[in-house]
Structure 1
Amino acid sequence: MSTQPSTPPLSLTERRKLATQLEIARAAAELFTAHGTDGTTAEAIAARAGVALRTFYRYFRTKQDAVGPLLAVGGDRWRALLAAAEPGAALPDALHGAISEALAVPDDTAADGLRQTRGLLRAAVDDPALRAVWYRVNQESEDKLRPVVAELAGAGTGAGAGAGAGPEQLAVRVAAAAATAAIRIALETWAQTDADVTGPGSPADLAARCLRELMGGTGPLTRTETPD
């Protein structure tokens, strides 16, 4: 299993804050899907979430920002799945397995979550501010993914943002960017179709195809041996 240090448990206050943010995010997503961003106000989102307007603005600057936590949930889950992969496993296989499991639809809740993402991505086509939130979430996910990829590949801890351009660090950055782009492109492509949440043309199917295309030219990225 991965030897990365575990994240300290969140305090009760932090868990409550995250729960409130996610509740607001779900309310915003429901209203954006039903009425579009132009037809939705921050006041309406706060009311749907059952919080005061001042609470909404304590966490989010704009109504579009409110969906950020919801869009980030999938990335958090699949990074955790990847971090749990066996060290030394072929990285493309580990990435493919984590992405496939993260985009799997084991129940109605998961299916509804993907359909909600579809609604948001469709709304983002005509809303630059909402698109900016989507791209920001993806960039943050890529940044967080780099140390996970580095750990699996045995490339050390110097592969994060601001690291040098050595072969291992460069390969880690390319792999993290490819994996993140595979999911982003798959979801964006799926959102513009009427394909189901499973089967041909689903997010999992498209992400696997995107990952094969994007990882095809990156070369091997495996744990390196340190000379004695």
Structure 2
Amino acid sequence: MTAARGRTGRPPLTEERKAEIRLEIASAAVELFVTQGVAATTGEQIGQAVGVSARTVWRYFPSKESCVSPLFSEGIELIAALLREWAPDEPLERLFDRTLATEIGVIGRLERATVRDLVRLTRTEPGLRAVWLQTYDEAEPAFARALAERARLPADGLEPTIQAAMFNAALRAAVEHHAWRTADTGTEPATAETELMETLRSALAVAAGGVGQGLGVERGCGAGCHTFR
């Protein structure tokens, strides 16, 4: 009688470990992009920084620019949760006060200066820009569902859809404005974090006010015209 043949080789990776590897690759890619530029960075270098082969890098990501996508998207669900828990009497601009924006997603995982440098690269690197914008496209439905749930409205309703679009655009514009404005000022890290929070509050206040606010538009809102509340 022969012994039953067991499975040989390495055990399959768990989904949790796969997610960890994706984040490790993403962090390594960011560091390389910031220190030596996107064009000079290869898949082999990214893999070496993590201790995996270039083949493994390409198994997880279709391009070197897309390697950063897990860091961009890491905070989406956390922000959606904050929207669900947003109290009716709480101003939108105070949304991040209990959970610092600097602890969300990519900003919480990497050095603050590295984060700002990464966002700045999205301004000049088309590949990174595409990944950056795609992340916000993917975030918008999650924000719409959260706002709809909070207001007990249909998930595909027009109102939460528009509100999510305004909220999403305000977040992106605030992060970009902060990163690009501090590009050459040599701002201290603690000061930069404070300025980021203030920029986010200002952007969300504008979004909460609506398009007509401050534009000389008469705001005679009826039943179909609502700002964030």
AA at the equivalent of 2:66: D
Offset at 1:15?
A: 0.8
SS of structure 1 residue aligned to 2:39: coil
Alignment match, 1:110: 108
- Contact 2:208/2:228 (CA < 8 Å) preserved in 1? no
Question: Retained in 2: the 8 A contact 1:105–1:198?
Answer: no
The 10-residue stretch of structure 1 (67-76 or 188-197) with the greater mean CA deviation from structure 2: 188-197
Match of 2:205 among 188, 212, 219: 212
Contact 1:182-1:210 at 8 Å conserved across structures: yes
Whether the 8 Å CA contact 2:85–2:150 is kept in 1: the answer is no
Q: Identity over the aligned pairs, expressed in percent?
A: 32
2:210–2:227 contact (8 Å) kept in structure 1? no
Cα displacement (A) at 1:202: 2.2
TM-score by length of 2: 0.75
In structure 2, the gaps of 5 or more residues are 1-12, 212-225
Question: CA deviation digits over 1:1-52, x for unaligned, max 9?
Answer: xxxxxxxxxxx81111111100000000010111110121111111111111
Quote the Cα distance in structure 2 between the aligned partners of 1:24 and 1:111. Answer: 13
Question: Equivalent residues in 2 for 1:1-228 (5 A)?
Answer: 13-85=14-86, 89-90=88-89, 93=91, 95-100=92-97, 101-104=99-102, 110=108, 112-157=110-155, 159=156, 169-192=157-180, 193=182, 194=185, 195-196=187-188, 198-199=190-191, 202-217=195-210, 219-220=226-227
Give SS of 1:155's match: coil
Cα distance change on mapping 1:207 and 1:221 into 2, 3 Å: closer
1:150–1:156 contact (8 Å) kept in structure 2: yes
Alignment partners' CA distance in 1, 2:176 and 2:158: 26
- Tell me what 1:226 maps to: none
How large is the RMSD of aligned CA atoms in angstroms?
2.5
**1:39 match: secondary structure:** coil
Residues 78 and 102, structure 1, Cα contact 8 Å, conserved in 2? no
Q: 1:76 to 1:104 in 2, by over 3 A?
A: same
Deviation of the 1:105 alpha carbon = 5.7
Cα distance in 2 between the residues matched to 1:122 and 1:221: 30
- Length-normalised TM-score, structure 1: 0.75
Deviation (angstroms), 1:198? 4.9
> RCO higher in 1 or 2 (8 Å CA, sep ≥ 6)?
1
Displacement of 1:70 in angstroms is 0.7
Q: Deviations over 1:111-136 (max 9, x none)?
A: 84443321111222221011000000
Going from structure 1 to structure 2, the CA distance change for 1:137 and 1:74 (only over 3 Å counts) comes to: same
1:149: Cα distance to partner? 0.8
Equivalent AA in structure 1 for residue 175 of structure 2: L
Deviations 1:61-83 (A, max 9, x none): 11000000011123332223333
Structure 2 contact 209–228 (Cα < 8 Å) conserved: no
The structural deviation recorded for 1:176 is 0.8
Q: Residue 85 of structure 1: CA displacement?
A: 4.0
1:105–1:197 contact (8 Å) kept in structure 2: no
Q: Which has the larger radius of gyration?
A: 2
